[in-house]
Amino acid sequence: MFTTRVNQQGIFQSFERKCVTALLGSRRVGKSTLVEEYVKQNQDRLWAFLNMDSLALRQRIISGDLQKVVEEQTEQQIGGEKKIWVAIDEAQKCPELFDQIKILYDEYKTKNALKFILTGSGFLTLHRLGAETLAGRIELHYLREFCLRESVAYLSQKSPPKVGLLDIISADTVDFKGIEEYVASRAPFRKRIEASLLEQLIFGGLPEILQEKEANLRNIYLGNYLQTYLEKDVQAITSISDLDLYHKLMKILADQTGSIRQDDKIITTLGCARDTLKKYRGILLATLVYQEVFPFIGSTLKRLVKSPKGYLTNNGLVSYLSGLDDVRVLEKTGLIGHRFENWFLRELQVWLDGNVQQREIYYWRTSGGVEVDFVAEKKRLVFPFEVTYSKNIQDKKVKNLRNFLSEESKASFGFYVYMGDFYYDKASKICFIPAWALG
């Protein structure tokens, strides 16, 4: 079952341009499904499909036969009567591809005879080779797990709203009346959205896991997902002799999701070398299952702490690795707040993915302990967010936002995402956003 993705239009527009397009994302987020939908909409075109999971095909590419493979599949020479569209899945598994793509791209770019669409679940390889081998020739786009809008649309078999709540705040002057009207427009769906949000906090947003309704079956899926990730995605980047140690690191990072990175404690717990930890964490980043959020450096450089926060971004994997998938236990222990923060990080990622210009996600914390959970930088503006799994407004978090706004000239408004109702404090320029309204 196909669901329209909120950034689909921008990705499809890239598919139409002459550049090489790379669509990156972790395992099973729907990259191939999205490309298949594009192919379905353009069946009259001449297509070649290559999957680098195939050992035989990889061997041919390693031998330098990319052009031959494409021409054999399409039964036409490149530069012939019709333009050839080449979709390559799991491209990161065959680094030898990229030099050959560069040669073919440069040879035929003025003739508009060839288009490459690459997908991959390994950020590091594609990004490095994109920056080096295909510099100036490649556009990188990202596909994540379902955001809340997509999850609700998937379960209701409808298209998600074309404009989300976060899109409304992407301006010099935030349209708070527009935000209020948007929240009101989603109110009839509140019960459905809140149910979907709770599922995302516990089981994440992988499309296939949403199809399963039983917690036991979801845990079986997550176990298989983890095993496949370890055996295929990790080993495709580099050979790891101690997968058990890598697995243990993932469990530690699941427990520490949303916390400031503490390398010394991790090294002591694992009993490994610092270089090993650095290598393994690099692989987690490369395979897009882990993200580090660094401190925002604005006008208070000397007062900021420097250590990044780490997030194992799939809440389902966090539940599976930690063994905590009971919402009542998570609420009682206060750990539900980390899942809520993890969920909102993905909402920010999806929002910023739709912007091809500069965009980054940070957190803000001074040496005095004043903290803002996320600071999103988009173009020349910054947007501070405090997030909390609570129906009540916490004075401390409001004060943190006020402090940030008073010190950062590029931030005009603050945003407080929580489980309560919509409210706008004109005096402090802080907008209180109900989490369900993002769906």
Instruction: Identify whether the C-beta of residue 358 lies closer than 8 Å to the C-beta of residue 377.
Output: yes
- Residue 257 reports pLDDT greater than 80: yes
How many Å apart are CA 156 and CA 36, to the nearest integer? 21
How many Å apart are CA 226 and CA 233, to the nearest integer? 10
What is the reported pTM?
Answer: 0.94
* CA dist 308 → 39, 181, 293 (Å): 40, 36, 5
> Please, what's the b/e burial string for 292-323 (b: 16 or more CB within 10 A of its CB; e: otherwise)?
ebebbebebeeebeeeebbbbbbbbbbbbbbe
The pLDDT value recorded for residue 81 is 95
Using left for φ > 0, alpha for ψ between -120 and 50, and beta otherwise, residue 424 falls in beta
Long-range pairs for 169-178 at CB < 8 Å and ≥24 separation?
Answer: 169/383, 169/413, 169/415, 169/431, 170/355, 170/378, 170/381, 172/381, 172/412, 173/412, 174/412, 174/413, 174/431, 176/424, 176/431
The pLDDT value recorded for residue 357 is 64
- Residue 126 reports pLDDT greater than 60: no
Mean pLDDT of the chain: 92
Share of the chain above pLDDT 90, in %: 77
Considering only CA atoms, which of 52, 117, 123, 60 is closest in space to residue 86?
Answer: 117
The pLDDT value recorded for residue 277 is 95
Share of the chain above pLDDT 70, in %: 95
- The pLDDT tens digits of the residues spanning 176-219 come to 888 999 999 999 999 999 999 999 999 999 999 999 989 999 99
How many Å apart are CA 435 and CA 102, to the nearest integer? 45
- Residue 403 reports pLDDT greater than 90: yes
pLDDT tier, 46 (very low <50, low <70, confident <90, very high otherwise): very high
The pLDDT value recorded for residue 136 is 78
- Residue 355 reports pLDDT greater than 90: no
Find the mean pLDDT for residues 402-421. 94
Find the mean pLDDT for residues 273-300. 89
How many Å apart are CA 227 and CA 313, to the nearest integer? 17
DSSP lists the bridge partners of residue 23 as 119, 141
pLDDT tier, 95 (very low <50, low <70, confident <90, very high otherwise): confident
Question: Please, where in the chain does CATH 3.40.50.300 lie?
Answer: 8-142
Question: DSSP for 60-99?
Answer: HHHTT-HHHHHHHHHTS-TTSSS-EEEEEESGGG-TTHHH
CATH number of 8-142: 3.40.50.300
Residue type, 156: S
- Residue 303 reports pLDDT greater than 80: no
Please give the order of strands across the beta sheet that includes 259-260.
259-260, 309-312, 290-295, 359-365, 371-378, 381-387, 414-418, 430-434, 423-425
Find the mean pLDDT for residues 72-90. 97
- Residue 164 reports pLDDT greater than 70: yes
- The pLDDT tens digits of the residues spanning 12-38 come to 999 999 999 999 999 999 999 999 999
pLDDT tier, 124 (very low <50, low <70, confident <90, very high otherwise): very low
- Residue 404 reports pLDDT greater than 70: yes
> Please, what's the b/e burial string for 141-157 (b: 16 or more CB within 10 A of its CB; e: otherwise)?
bbbbbbbbbbbbbbbee
- Residue 298 reports pLDDT greater than 70: no
Find the mean pLDDT for residues 300-312. 74
pLDDT tier, 380 (very low <50, low <70, confident <90, very high otherwise): confident
DSSP lists the bridge partners of residue 382 as 377
